[in-house]
Structure 1
Amino acid sequence: MASELEQEATTVLYLNESTNISTTVASLCNSLKCYMVLSTPEKKAIGSICFLAGPVTFLENILVLVVIASSATLRGRPSYLFISSLALADAFASCFFTVSFLNFHLYSKDDGADNYLFKLGGVTMAFTGSVGSLLLTALDRYLCIYQASNYKVLLTCTRAKLAIVLLWCVTIIISFLPLMGWRCTTWLDPPCSRLFPYVDHHYLACWTGLQLVVLFLITVAYALILLKANRHEAAMSGPKCGRSSIKGQARMRMDIQLARTFSLILLILAVCWLPVLSFMMVDVMVTLTDKQQRMFAFCSTLCLVNSCVNPLLYALRCRDLRRELLALFKCCMACREHTLGNTYSIRNEKSLGKKSKDQAVSDSNPDTVSESVDHQQNSIQIS
């Protein structure tokens, strides 16, 4: 009887231990199904946002890059070099984020740890480069206002290009650290993130902290810029005379406009990024529920919306970029009219070629006159 009671107690203890182990495994969430928590209506909503914002974001940022690349004036200014870096990062974000997000959350596609971490690294690289480019832009505006006399000496195009290259090198290294080995593979390792599979809590905490520090530095820089700009605007509001004062007022107004433009970009960046970063910090400290994971999925689409809004701010508020954009459109229209004119002249030549040899010889002078008229019409259209 005693042996039977001992066997029953051992069986109950074994079952309890098995239940605890299974519960622990479930809580650590080693299966990818724990991350695919969206319902069918939520998938449709997020899919609509990505399908609309992704291509629009890509085309807008590519247009910004084309305008800056086609203008020698804009390429020679560090401010627009940093804007081009931001546009490049946003273009990458539209590609990597849309493909990775839709494949995982909408189509529930499991590509394996390495493929998933490669796609996630691309998304991390794009958004880290975007925030880093905004930091460079803020520093550029800070030097332009606080070091106006030495601005061109302190920040040359060569130094701006080196800063952009250094930024992207550091960004690539940081973004692909999980792919290089800093990952969480099994439930025996420290608990993984409930937001991203295979991502260790320590890496997520480091990356989130870095983004918060960068956002803080950008906020401080723009606060100082606006403070200095407002003081100069108040000082120059009184009656002034002389050509130097007029030039100083024009330059300060341009600096104020640019400062306010980038401050608006910073405000939109904070609205789009603070919810995401908040969820990441909470994920490091506690275990998120399915409802919180679904809320994070919707908040993460705000980052894509931010990349979509940035080019619109440049086109609406940056006068030089808008002027170059109009010039590019006019050039494209002129090329189109030139192409149509050449097509029209070729058709006339083919129709004239159908005449007989005798008529062509007898009407040689009129043919020459008609061709000259066609050329004149084409030149008038081009001009």
Structure 2
Amino acid sequence: MEVPTSLGPSDAKDNASSPILNMSCENLECYMVLIEAEKKAIGSICFLAGPFTLLENALVLGVIAATATLRQRPTYLFIASIALADVFASCFFTISFLDFHLFRRSDGPTAYLFKLGGVTMAFTSSVGSLLLTALDRYLCIYQASSYKVLLTRRRALLSLLILWCATIVISFLPLMGWRCPTGLSPPCSLLFPYINHAYLACWTSFTLVLLALILCAYALILWKAHRHESSMTSLQGAAGTGHARMRMDIRLARTFGLILLILVGCWLPALSLMLADVFVNLEPTQQRAFAFCSTLCLVNSAVNPLLYALRCRELRVALMQLLQRLCEIGRCKKSTDNLIPGLPSTDNNSTVISEYEMSGTRTTQLKSISKMVNNQQPNIIK
């Protein structure tokens, strides 16, 4: 399926209200709407946020993989899933976005839908892993006594397997055949080439449901924490220690408020424009606005390790221990490489010394045996 370079009279009549009819759609140029100043701004965001997102999420994955105690806990398995999804997002989104909008490379339907499927899989898995993390914290608060029984490592791995399989299938449905049947006429999206309006509506609705569940989970956690602190304050009285320090529910409200503000602020603009694309014909200015809003999803992937991983004390301790081990290995290697040439190494010296000591020991043993023989000879003669 290729995008037609021209439309017939009947198609032009049916799509007279489309804002991209007057634009050239040869090689998907009608979707490449950014001007030079916008290309520089978006390119700067991607070149800065892309490598930074990749490095910090790869660091989180490395720390969790290298620490046995963290690998056994479901909480850190979910954090590792977030980091893995954000690593994919930094790679797929940065490469495909810059390739299409800045370098104006137009691929065929199969290649384009494969790249878009990778971006969709990364972002969907990231939001799904955020939901699993929120549910993990919900169970930790509401089922504290039976938390370890309810959420075992095996169940956590099973939930992650289901999540990733579902997101892979959903993300690559356009590549499997659920794509736009025509070039530009409805039901084709004005934001993504070859994407059907029905698929775009389903994916956007699915992502909004995930975000709503995350909001509900954190709202219930805050409500539970507020009730707990209120009961503790009533028991301790006005002069209790609860008033001497900040209440736990207030601290949680600030933390979760920051998390939800960043999550909604990064995702809601792009999802809103996707829903608008389903129901109305977008103008080129709205298409350019969507290009900026989509980079906010990459910014969210860059912020996730700071909110979910590096705020955990155990992970920070594991990171410092890993860095110390790496420094010790580097020092040992450096001291070995800086040995003075011409002198025998430590191993050779130890070998020579051990051989010398063994020869001396053997000589001493022979002398003692000869003395014993000489002392015993008179007795034998007698």
Give the TM-score category using the shorter length.
0.7 to 0.9
Q: Give distance in 2, aligned partners of 1:188 and 1:294.
A: 18
Match of 2:326 in 1: 332
Q: Percent identity?
A: 64
Q: Give distance in 1, aligned partners of 2:199 and 2:233.
A: 51
TM-score, structure 2 normalization:
0.79
Match of 1:352 among 339, 343, 361: 343
Match of 1:282 in 2: 276
Please give the per-residue CA displacement for 1:185-229, whole angstroms capped at 9, x wherever unaligned: 424864310000000000000000011111111101110001111
> Contact 2:183/2:194 (CA < 8 Å) preserved in 1?
no
Match of 1:124 in 2: 120
Match of 1:141 among 130, 137, 143: 137
CA 1:162–1:18 in structure 2 vs 1: closer, same or farther (change >3 Å)?
Answer: closer
Q: Which has the larger radius of gyration?
A: 2
Q: Give distance in 2, aligned partners of 1:237 and 1:72.
A: 39
Match of 1:198 in 2: 194
> Contact 1:25/1:187 (CA < 8 Å) preserved in 2?
no
Moved more, 190-199 or 87-96: 190-199
RMSD: 2.7
Q: Give distance in 2, aligned partners of 1:200 and 1:172.
A: 18
Amino acid at match of 1:97: F
Match of 2:164 in 1: 168
> Contact 1:182/1:200 (CA < 8 Å) preserved in 2?
yes
How big is the shift at 1:260? 6.0
> Contact 1:35/1:195 (CA < 8 Å) preserved in 2?
yes
Please give the per-residue CA displacement for 1:283-307, whole angstroms capped at 9, x wherever unaligned: 0000000000000000110000110
Q: Give distance in 2, aligned partners of 1:256 and 1:59.
A: 33
Q: Secondary structure at 1:192's aligned position in 2?
A: coil
CA 1:87–1:196 in structure 2 vs 1: closer, same or farther (change >3 Å)?
Answer: same
Match of 1:22 among 12, 29, 33: 12
Unaligned 5+ segments in structure 2 are 1-6, 237-246, 357-382
Match of 1:97 in 2: 93
Match of 1:318 in 2: 312
Q: Give distance in 1, aligned partners of 2:55 and 2:267.
A: 22
Amino acid at match of 1:308: A
Match of 2:210 among 208, 214, 237: 214
Q: Give distance in 2, aligned partners of 1:193 and 1:120.
A: 14
How big is the shift at 1:352? 2.1
How big is the shift at 1:163? 0.2
Please give the per-residue CA displacement for 1:341-370, whole angstroms capped at 9, x wherever unaligned: 2223xx23x33259xxxxx9xxx88xx9xx
Unaligned 5+ segments in structure 1 are 1-16, 241-251, 355-359, 369-383
Q: Give distance in 1, aligned partners of 2:312 and 2:254.
A: 11
Q: How does 1:53-92 map to 2 (within 5 A)?
A: 53-92=49-88
Query: Are residue 300 (structure 1) and residue 294 (structure 2) matched?
Result: yes
Please give the per-residue CA displacement for 1:224-268, whole angstroms capped at 9, x wherever unaligned: 00111122233334777xxxxxxxxxxx96x99778645533321
Q: Give distance in 2, aligned partners of 1:122 and 1:258.
A: 34
**Higher percent of residues as helix:** 1
> Contact 2:11/2:185 (CA < 8 Å) preserved in 1?
no
Q: Secondary structure at 2:192's aligned position in 1?
A: coil
Q: Give distance in 1, aligned partners of 2:147 and 2:302.
A: 31
CA 1:332–1:100 in structure 2 vs 1: closer, same or farther (change >3 Å)?
Answer: same
Q: Give distance in 2, aligned partners of 1:258 and 1:79.
A: 18
